[in-house]
Amino acid sequence: MLLHLLLMANVGWLVLVAGQNEVPTVPCYGPDCLVTELTTEITTPTTTESTTTPTTTPLPAGIRRTLVVIYKATTVGQDMFIQGGVNKETIRPSCASDVNAATSDCSISINATSLGTGSHWAKYDAWRVGDTKLDWFGAQPGQGYYQTFGAFGTPLAWTTNEPGDGYQQLNTWGPNHWMVDLQMNCDETANGWFDVKAYLTQFGNGFEPDIQQSSCTGSGADVLPPYSSNKNHVARCGYINRFNFGSGGCEITEFQ
């Protein structure tokens, strides 16, 4: 937790320094003065939004609804999961040697909630039981089974925007959008962001290839993640995050 706070403080400091570097040190005044304009632009949000400590970007606080959607045309019998949490390459390397979800500093507390009723959702409903963390370790002790089949992480369900099996109203895109609807503790993320890696059954070693994420589209892409990953998708806590399996495209939007 201390490390987390230090890290957040550090990110904020870097942003401030970068901002100040763009401002000439000699003050100037008058209608064409860049200093005056920049200063106004930077300080306006802090004066209107809050009476407490100024921050550069608002942090998502507490437990927020967070959707992860991964597009992949799959075949019947394949199932998709995600592993992830706090980035362990650059953000929290100490997690690389962790061994379980319950104690790892990179695990993020979650509950996966219902996406619908009926047999289409039976696997998702079975596997989300006892899955209390988004983590890097696959099934948690005590996580649910579907018949005799265990989970490989946090389960996703196949969804479509068309009437029939798998219809889900949050899907505004089309068939083959694998989805998980999470309650996530944003306080445990890296400044509001977390890594996601898809795992697909009956697919190579299961994991999607490493990806380099491009800049995202959507109303939630107004700020950049505080880090980049050369392996995983980077998702935003409290938003609808839509990715492509094995490639860098992404869309981050606000809940309506």
Q: Which residues bind ligand NAG (CB under 6 A)?
A: 63, 109-111, 183, 185
Rank residues 66 and 229 by Cβ distance to ligand NAG and give the closer one. Answer: 66
Q: What's the rounded Cα separation, in Å, for the pair 256 and 253?
A: 9
Q: Least distance (Å) from ligand NAG to the CB of residue 254? A: 20
Distances (CA, A) of 63 to 192, 234, 237: 11, 18, 9
Rank residues 110 and 216 by Cβ distance to ligand NAG and give the closer one. Answer: 110
Which DSSP state fits 1?
-
Q: Least distance (Å) from ligand NAG to the CB of residue 128? A: 11
Rank residues 109 and 161 by Cβ distance to ligand NAG and give the closer one. Answer: 109
Q: Least distance (Å) from ligand NAG to the CB of residue 93? A: 25
Q: With 0-12 CB in 10 A as exposed, 13-18 as middle and 19+ as buried, what is 156?
A: buried
At residue 253, the 3 state secondary structure works out as: strand
Rank residues 27 and 130 by Cβ distance to ligand NAG and give the closer one. Answer: 130
Nearest to 147 by CA among 126, 119, 117, 129: 126
Q: Least distance (Å) from ligand NAG to the CB of residue 72? A: 26
Which DSSP state fits 2?
H
Q: Least distance (Å) from ligand NAG to the CB of residue 138? A: 19
Rank residues 63 and 250 by Cβ distance to ligand NAG and give the closer one. Answer: 63
